[in-house]
Structure 1
Amino acid sequence: MPIDVTAATGAQPREGSIGWTRKDVILYHLGLGAGIPPTDADELRYTYEKNLHVLPTFAAVAGFKAGGDLASLPGIDVDLRAVLHGGQEVVLHGPLPPEATDIGVRSRVADVWDKGKAAVIVLETSAALPDGTPLYDSRSEIFVRGEGGFGGERGPSTKIDVPERDADHVVEVSTRPDQALLYRLSGDWNPLHADPDFAKAAGFDTPILHGLCSYGVTLKAVVDTVLGGDVARVTRYRTKFAGIFFPGETMRVRVWDEGGTLHVRASSVERDDAVVLSDTVVEYAS
């Protein structure tokens, strides 16, 4: 079996350090579509080094290589064409700084779940400032088609129902046809998001947008619309990647405010509200 669950989950955590510059942060934000219009003060906080704010989802990019590529992890040998991002969570212990060095990271394969026709690899990463102060924790669920059925645990249910009322906020975000090509410069080089032939071999008509890009686009819309542009108010953000999104489509973001917790759903306007992000929660400080 390509995934050796015992070897993967029993391996020693990987430890190292990461850092980033304002350029890295700005490039990431541009990859989410920030900067339109370019002279708008609300957009400049994401794209101009003066008083630069950092979206919490940058944590997923900053630590992207902390755990190593899937193929380099003990016990895991999978075909990238069968790999999709299943879910993502980030917990913030404080605002992310616009520049950082010597951020200590510790990563491990926490679980491998058996979903029948697929396996889900759960990667956990924690990051701390040089003095040991926790900065963030992240959790990625990597869906690998064709690798299930090995008799393992299915894992917990993450189903979260949205309130039974109209959304309190609805915002539509346009994306560019070249958005995936720009976003991948932040570190996710999976050819599924750039190479038409690779995308077709994986079962898609054309390259799709990175799930983590949709993740970031959605949080930016929530922060700008509901949280007054204050990225530091976000304390936790979790989602399930329920469907694909194509560069150039319009993301419709619905938000239900439950006081301290926002329930969110993102969908594609052009494809009859096809769900892109489901079971999505943003927790925030007042």
Structure 2
Amino acid sequence: MIRPNPSKVAAYSPPSHRRSYTERDVQLYALGLGLGSDPVARDELPFVYEEWGPKVLPTMASVLGSDMLWFADPDLGLGDAAGVHGDELLTLHQPLPPNGTISSRISRVDLYDRGESGHGVMILEEEMHDEATGILLATRRQTDVLIGAGGFGGDAPPPTYRPALPDREPDVVVERTTLTQGALLYRLSGDHYHLHVEDDFAREAGFDGPILHGLATYGLACHAIVAACCGHDPVGLTSFFGRFTAPVYPGESLATDIWRGEDAVSFRVRAVQRGATVIDNGHADLRG
């Protein structure tokens, strides 16, 4: 395996990215999460039906940023390892419009090493602006785990950000069964990674088959909180964090455990049949 090159990564400046999207893309994103699976659920239709919306989930910002094609640059040594999401923090400065053009720039790339028998860790920060107005819409911080790519001589990663969950039963539990074709639909929003489609590739990476995109699970958790805590109004969310702890396989049932606070929410997501926590230490800030 080709190892990451920390000096090359440190010196590299990822290209800026421009992404135009329409109301159709907003609807496709929501459909890829499984919204609308009950076609008469009136609270979900505004996310998938243009006559009543479309409302835009804040987590759509996660698919409007960099296409990560620079990741495959052979000089960086990043593209040889299978990569999975470690965590995602999204800060919403303004509500996402239902159409427009996003201009984004990755302002930070940090590479860390968990040792010869471990993994590489890469942390990115990206700012996303409305191209027409210049307004900062969202900032996202993404942690990627480069499977088996440790041992390149980099620094150890910093302590993981892990907001504590309350020591009591959740206030609300929202359950939803993911679509068996969910990964195939979600990838149409821009994440075409082989891990979510090709069985052989997924098994070589150590999974039991193609897995659902971590950001699809993240989006489902966001919708659960928007529904349970924001009156189905996505504008009510100002930040959203989740740490990915286990894969989700398309077709599994998920339960989002939610603890309400004054202006914030804690949450985790469980794969019901396996009893596995798939997103942990979740935290969302609500608009006051």
Give the TM-score range, shorter chain.
Answer: over 0.9
Instruction: Spell out, residue by residue over 1:57-78, the C-alpha distance to the aligned partner (whole angstroms, 9 max, x if none).
Output: 100111141x434213862333
| 2:41 counterpart residue number | 40
Report whether the alignment pairs 1:78 with 2:57: no
Report whether the alignment pairs 1:26 with 2:31: no
Counterpart contact for 1:114–1:155, Cα < 8 Å: no
Query: C-alpha displacement at 1:12, in angstroms?
Result: 2.6
- Structure 2 letter corresponding to 1:146: G
Report whether the alignment pairs 1:105 with 2:107: no
| 1:89 counterpart residue number | 89
| 1:226 counterpart residue number | 229
Cα distance in 2 for partners of 1:177, 1:14 equals 35
| 1:283 counterpart residue number | 285
1:172 to 170, 175, 185: 175
Query: C-alpha displacement at 1:156, in angstroms?
Result: 3.0
- Structure 2 letter corresponding to 1:141: T
Question: In structure 2, do the counterparts of structure 1 residues 266 and 209 end up closer, same or farther at CA, with 3 Å as the change threshold?
Answer: same
Counterpart contact for 2:111–2:154, Cα < 8 Å: no
Query: C-alpha displacement at 1:109, in angstroms?
Result: 4.4
- Structure 2 letter corresponding to 1:211: G
Cα distance in 2 for partners of 1:64, 1:25 equals 17
| 2:127 counterpart residue number | 126
Cα distance in 1 for partners of 2:39, 2:12 equals 47
Cα distance in 1 for partners of 2:38, 2:237 equals 24
Cα distance in 2 for partners of 1:96, 1:23 equals 14
Report whether the alignment pairs 1:191 with 2:191: no
- Pick which of 154-163 and 171-180 moved more: 154-163
Question: In structure 2, do the counterparts of structure 1 residues 74 and 219 end up closer, same or farther at CA, with 3 Å as the change threshold?
Answer: farther
The total of aligned residue pairs comes to 282
User: In structure 1, the residue corresponding to 2:43 is in which secondary structure?
Assistant: helix
Across the aligned residues of Structure 1 and Structure 2, the Cα RMSD in angstroms comes to: 1.7
| 2:220 counterpart residue number | 217
Cα distance in 2 for partners of 1:282, 1:57 equals 12
| 1:200 counterpart residue number | 203
Query: C-alpha displacement at 1:245, in angstroms?
Result: 0.8
Identity fraction in percent: 35
Question: Which consecutive residues of structure 1, in runs of 5 or more, have no partner in the other structure?
Answer: none
Cα distance in 2 for partners of 1:259, 1:2 equals 46
User: In structure 1, the residue corresponding to 2:7 is in which secondary structure?
Assistant: helix
Report whether the alignment pairs 1:55 with 2:57: yes
Query: C-alpha displacement at 1:188, in angstroms?
Result: 1.1
Q: Structure 2 length as normaliser, TM-score? A: 0.92
Q: Structure 1 length as normaliser, TM-score? A: 0.93
User: In structure 2, the residue corresponding to 1:198 is in which secondary structure?
Assistant: helix
Cα distance in 2 for partners of 1:38, 1:15 equals 39
Query: C-alpha displacement at 1:216, in angstroms?
Result: 0.5
User: In structure 2, the residue corresponding to 1:229 is in which secondary structure?
Assistant: coil
- Structure 1 letter corresponding to 2:285: E
